[in-house]
Amino acid sequence: MDEMPKGNPPPEPAAQPAQAEVSRRDFLARALRASGGAFALLAGGGAIASDGERYDWEAHRWAYLIDTEKCIGCGSCVRACKAENGVPDGYFRTWVERYLISPEASHVDSPNGGMDGFPPLQTAFEPTKSFFVPKLCNHCKETPCVQVCPVGASYRTKDGVVLVDGKRCIGCGYCVQACPYGSRFISPETHTAEKCTWCYHRITKGLKPACVEVCPTATRQFGDMKREDDPVRLAIAHGRVVVLQANLLTEPQAYYLGIDMEVR
Amino acid sequence: MPEITGYAFPNDIHVHWSLMIVMYPYITGFVAGSFIVTALYHLFGKNEFQPVARLSLAASFCFLLVAGLPLQLHLGHPERGLFVMITPNFTSAMAGFGILYSFYLMIVMLEVWFVWRGEIIQTARRSRGLKRAFYAALALGTYDTSPQALEIDHRAVKVLSAIGLPSACMLHGYVGFIFGGIKANPWWSTPLMPVIFLCSAAVSGIALLILVYQVTAKLGRRVIQADTVSAMARWLWFFLIITVTLELLEIIMLAYENSEEWHIISPLLTTRLQFSFISMQMIIGSLIPFILLFIVTVMNRYLHEKVRNTLTVMASLLLLLQVFSMRWNVVIGGQLLSKSFRGLRSAYEPHLFEREGILVAIVLFVLPFVILYVFDRLLPIEAPPGAHAPDPHGDAPPAAGVSPAA
Ligand code: SF4
Ligand code: SF4
């Protein structure tokens, strides 16, 4: 996958996209707000000093591509996600599934979300094919989780990322029930809904999501649909990709290559 | 850690909607069900319900006051609960709660006021000091108890019942919609869900009133009106039949279509929910009360009063269990299956002492009765002997046979 455009701006407080439209000249007000704590915290503290180019969320539309043929089930992505986002034990923003399939039977597992890799496994049947499938929030376009949020704490940004505003979320858990992919959970620490953000704090600084960064086989790829020559865009535009549970018409923005019908 | 059979998505092993979310539809069910009983009298002129009309209105009100509590208790951030009312996101089914709840509360409070207005004024006139001030305040500044004014009260009650009935149905149907509208969950996602919730609300409401009516009558040494009991039993039977038919229809459809969902729902019902669904909801909670109420309804004339009362009380108790199991099976059952459609988690067992635990649930169930008791102290639910019993139909004076003996 390509690097981000060269001219991409230095760090910018973007963890709160709802605020991204604030005038750049209004530096004092922003610094005040940032020192109010939350934004500075989410943006890794870079917010106060930065007066560089603003991240323009109209200029991007992010998409994710998972080439399952390449996945070796090492679990680096799951560990990286946990480290990057402080995911509580026993909960997952991303995980890896292992499929062992024969024409007669199938077995699926994901021990500890694949975090520690996959121990060898004996099945009662003779698998004729096996593969790994990394999973994460699909950042659906027609997203049921945003639809059901009673207070609008879950929202979809203009650059196509589904986020939760942890300061508005009342922790009702409706979105957790509504997500068909099991991508959300109520964090036992914050008592609010949490999920994959495609590392929004990174992508708005021109970096890739942590899982994509560490994937040794380039199974996980991240790209910008608004860039004509983006490899992910090209793969989605020209390749035969599928999305998970397409019948539900949630229009996922995480696309899969080489997936089997056993995968939901 | 819960045990998983098959494969569940790793985040799907938590039951986020706990016992409190079971209590929520259970309690709103009583709200709607009781109101249906008042409406049967005030709106549809079922005079047999006259002895329980005031009781059911009061019960609906008292349960309504508690209905929001389980939700509040369940939130990860209860202090933000009001956001649902202040900044609702209207694409969410849940966002309507604030509006529906407030509207219905207003209607019920108004109706309570109109029903008890005459007595409030009389009490104010009879008493002095603080008590007088209290009742005078309740009277809201109008002291007109002329026959014309009372007549207007009756008409107001009728209009309010007419508005209240659909509101109560909306309030509860909407609870069903919260589940029915989740396409991600095959055990919830069906347009039948609101209807099932509504019918079972009627069941739980009538069952509860049968119990409360008989218990309070016994305690107050009043005569239990035979035709009231048999009329309630009849309606209970009717709603039970509709409810169970719908509940079974939903499952039979899934099974007959042999849909993808059925492959996970069938093991769910026969393993994880075997006790709560098959034994409790269907056999103990539905089949047995069906037979008991069948006897009461069909052989009514031959039954001794004691037998009739005992049978209806037994059926009502079982039906309260049935409806609770139904709420449990929907809310909890839906979370035992993973959206991978490949795995089931082990049963969810709430703890005794926790914010969303068993003790709190019991308190939530008892609380409305405490409120009802206080209500009765302030506004006696039994109409005082000789007082003008509200007659919804204007013309006839209250039939001597139906007014409760003192
Ligand atoms: S995968 Fe789930 S959490 Fe992510 S956008 Fe879709 S519905 Fe929402
Ligand atoms: S848990 Fe939070 S984000 Fe999810 S629906 Fe409830 S309020 Fe919205």
Q: What's the CA gap between B134 and B131, in Å, rounded? A: 5
Residue type at A145?
C
| A149 vs B220, more confident | A149
| CB spacing of A95 vs B185 below 8 angstroms | no
Identify the pLDDT of residue A53. Answer: 73
Smallest CA–CA separation between B189 and chain A, in Å?
10
Residues 6+ apart with CB under 8 A from B142: B117, B149
Residue positions counted in chain A: 264
- Are B200 and B307 in the same domain? yes
Examine the domain organization and report whether B104 and B217 are in the same domain: no
Q: Whole-angstrom Cα distance, residue A112 to residue A120?
A: 14
Tokens in use for A190? 């914050």
B221 with B127, same domain: the answer is no
Last residue of a domain, one of B303, B333, B348: B348
Chain B residue numbers touching A108 (CB-CB < 8 A): 6-7, 340, 342
In a domain, B42, yes or no: yes
Tell me the pLDDT tens digit for each residue of A97-122: 999 999 999 999 999 999 999 999 99
| Residue at B134 is within a domain | yes
Q: How far is the CA of A40 from the centre of ligand 2 (A)?
A: 23
A233-252 residues touching B, CB cutoff 8 A: 248
Question: How much is the CA Rg of chain A, to the nearest whole Å?
Answer: 19
**Cβ partners under 8 Å of residue B357, min gap 6:** B19, B350, B351
Distance from residue B91's CA to the centre of ligand 2 (Å) = 13
Q: Encoding tokens for residue A237?
A: 């535009």
Longest dimension (CA), chain A: 67
Q: What is the pLDDT of residue B252?
A: 94
Residue B319 shares a structural domain with residue B362: no
Decide if B394 is inside a domain: no
Same domain, B50 and B120: yes
Examine residue B116 and state whether it is found in any structural domain, yes or no: yes
Please work out whether the CB of residue A137 comes within 6 Å of at least one atom of ligand 1: yes
The residue whose two tokens read 């679990």 is: A75
Answer whether residue A25 shows pLDDT above 60. Answer: no
pLDDT of residue B385: 67
- Residue B9 and residue A135: Cβ atoms within 8 Å? yes
Residues B45 and B153 in one domain: yes
Reported in sequence order, the residue ranges of A31-189 that DSSP labels E, i.e. its strands, are: 62-67, 94-101, 106-109, 129-136, 154-156, 162-164, 185-186
Judge if B228 and B174 occupy the same domain: no
Of B131, B296, B281, B309, which Cα lies nearest the Cα of B215? Answer: B309
Q: Output the pLDDT for position B98.
A: 84
- The CB of A172 under 6 Å from ligand 2? The reply is yes
The per-residue pLDDT for B260 is: 87
Contacts of B151 (CB under 8 A, 6+ apart): B394
Name the closest-CA residue to atom 7, ligand 1: A179
Nearest CA in chain A to B94: A150
For the segment A147-161, the average pLDDT, to the nearest whole number, is 96
User: Are B299 and B364 in the same domain?
Assistant: no
A·B CB contacts under 8 A: 126
Taking the mean position of all CA atoms in its chain, how far away is CA A23?
A: 28
Do both B148 and B78 map to the same domain? Answer: yes
Predicted pLDDT of residue A31? 43
Put simply, the answer to whether B75 touches A192 (Cβ < 8 Å) is no
Residue pair B157/B134 in contact by the 8 Å Cβ criterion? no
Ligand nearest to the CA of A168: 2
Within a domain: residue B387? no
Of the pLDDT bands very low, low, confident and very high (cuts 50, 70, 90), residue A45 is very low
Can you state the angle between helices B147-180 and B96-126, rounded to 10 degrees?
150
Do B373 and B284 belong to one domain? no
pLDDT at B327: 97
Number of separate domains in chain B: 2
Q: Is B203 in the same domain as B253?
A: yes
Residue whose CA lies nearest to ligand 1 atom number 8: A145
Question: So what's the pLDDT on residue B240?
Answer: 97
Residue B22 makes CB contacts below 8 A (sequence gap 6+) with B324, B327, B328, B331, B332, B361
CB-nearest to B185 from A91, A177, A186 is: A177
Across A17-26, A74-83, B87-96, the highest mean pLDDT is recorded for A74-83
Residue in the structure block whose two tokens are 């207005």: B117
- Does any domain span residue B143? yes
Q: Where are the beta strands (DSSP E) in chain A?
A: 62-67, 94-101, 106-109, 129-136, 154-156, 162-164, 185-186, 193-194, 220-224, 254-257
Give percent above pLDDT 70 in chain A.
Answer: 80
Distance from C-alpha of B68 to C-alpha of B124, rounded to nearest angstrom:
32
A74-to-A78, A87, A110, A211, A258 alpha-carbon distances in Å = 9, 18, 12, 12, 18
Q: Which domain holds residue B106?
A: 17-180+349-381
Distance in angstroms (rounded) separating the CA atoms of residues B293 and B314: 10
| DSSP, residue by residue, B39-102 | HHHHTT--GGGHHHHHHHHHHHHHHHHHHTHHHHHH-S-GGGTTHHHHS--TTSGGGHHHHHHH
The complex's ipTM works out to 0.89
Chain A residue closest to B87 (CA)? A151
Residue A29: the pLDDT is 42
Instruction: Looking at the structure, tell me whether residues B287 and B364 fall in a common domain.
Output: no
Confirm or reject contact between B146 and chain A (CB < 8 A).
no
Condensed to tens digits (0 to 9), the pLDDT of residues A176-198 reads 999 999 999 999 999 999 999 99
Tell whether the model's pLDDT for residue A212 goes beyond 70.
yes
Flag residues of chain B having pLDDT under 50.
388-406
Instruction: For residue B390, tell me if it sits in a domain.
Output: no
Contact assessment for residue A180 and residue A144, using Cβ atoms and an 8 Å cutoff: yes
Residue B383 has what pLDDT? 79
